Amino acid sequence: MEREGAVGGPGGRVAVVVPCLDEEAAVGAVVDALRVSLPHAVVYVYDNGSTDRTAEVAARHGAVVRFEPRPGKGNVIRRAFADVDADTYVLVDGDDTYDASAAGDLVRLLVAEGLDHVVGTRRPDTPTAHRRGHAAGNRALNSVVSRVFGTPVTDMLSGYRVMSRRFVKSFPAISRGFEVETELTVHAVNLRVPQREVPVGFRDRPEGSASKLRTYRDGFAILRWIARLAHLERPLLVHSLLGALIALVSLALGLPVVVEFLRTGLVPKFPTAILASALMMIAVLVAAVGVVLDAVHRASDEASRLVYLQYPAPQALDLRVPPAPSPARGADRAGRR
């Protein structure tokens, strides 16, 4: 697929990416709210294998429809970030749970303060907006990421974000599913980009719309992804802790043998002594691997930072000027699977 641009006023172009899977009941309202809030932007709805009329409804409401057959939100975002060329990107779910009318304010904030990443943190408008256990699980994951990566995170799993071109084009997008929000958060923390968190309204899904998130399966997938990211992004910390743990086991096994040798001059437990020695050598090797991986990671960070610096900061936008009709939109609405 050829790269697509976004329409904008003087100084910038804004593209809105809306991942969707079976959101016929909600996507029309989302597109309408986005077009009112950002009249100059192009709204791209990425259909991720819907079996209902999501694509048809989105096109009828004025969105440019794209198709990503590989299942998973991460696959959709990787495809969209590669295909769409803009100065500012808005990412919002197509289930009409987020306040899409706040998109214009989030874009203005990003440009006015020279930010690269604005996260719309969820502020429930109703007691049932969060499914049972989701709020507690989200808080636990936020705490884990904040501790591991050293930066306070309020809503790591938010699907409502505004990002600069340089942030998007330096984002590797490795994950396949709902872990992509975690990956975006860690990318922002790791690059130390200027960012803000802004509360936005969060409500129940409209009638006829069902959540695709599976609490336990996706929760464990996110935990596994956090562990993987911790190993990739903080290898020295992870390997140092693991090496220290192995060294403590070695000392617990070996100290009694050493004490007995100093007292009697004999080593009555050769297997224990050998095991303790082997564990200590393993602990040293694990720590040494952490040092090597940390050096590799620093080189990777420098490469990402150089990619980030190739693009200019967000430009001033004229959010009052609606886009001229695009002849390409009609063909897009027909869609290609």
Tell me, what's the pLDDT at 309?
85
Between strands 84-85 and 14-20, the pairing is unpaired
Helix (H) or strand (E) holding 5: strand 4-5
Tell me, what's the pLDDT at 271?
87
Helix (H) or strand (E) holding 3: none
Tokens of residue 73, six digits: 């939100």
Q: Is 286 helix (H, G, I), strand (E, B) or coil?
A: helix
Mean pLDDT of 189-196: 89
Distance CA 149, CA 192 (A): 11
Tell me, what's the pLDDT at 331?
41
**Structure confidence by residue, pLDDT tens digits, 220-241:** 766 776 777 777 778 888 899 9
Tell me, what's the pLDDT at 150?
76
- DSSP E strand stretches across 169-224: 195-202
Please check the confidence at residue 312 and state whether its pLDDT lies above 70: yes
Tell me, what's the pLDDT at 326?
46
CB 83 within 8 A of CB 4: yes
Tell me, what's the pLDDT at 316?
54
Which of the four pLDDT bands, split at 50, 70 and 90, describes residue 210?
low
**Structure confidence by residue, pLDDT tens digits, 76-118:** 999 999 999 999 999 999 999 999 999 999 999 999 998 999 9
Mean pLDDT of 243-252: 94
Tell me, what's the pLDDT at 219?
63
Highest averaged pLDDT of the listed ranges 1-10, 50-59, 130-139, 179-188? 50-59
Tokens of residue 233, six digits: 């992004």
* DSSP 8-state class, residue 190: H
Q: Is 65 helix (H, G, I), strand (E, B) or coil?
A: strand
CB 182 within 8 A of CB 226: yes
Tell me, what's the pLDDT at 325?
45
Of the listed ranges 9-18, 42-51, 62-71, 99-108, the least confidently predicted one is 9-18
Per this entry, what is the length of the chain? 337
Which of the four pLDDT bands, split at 50, 70 and 90, describes residue 1?
very low
Q: What is the mean pLDDT of the chain?
A: 82
Nearest CA to 21 out of 94, 99, 97 is that of 94
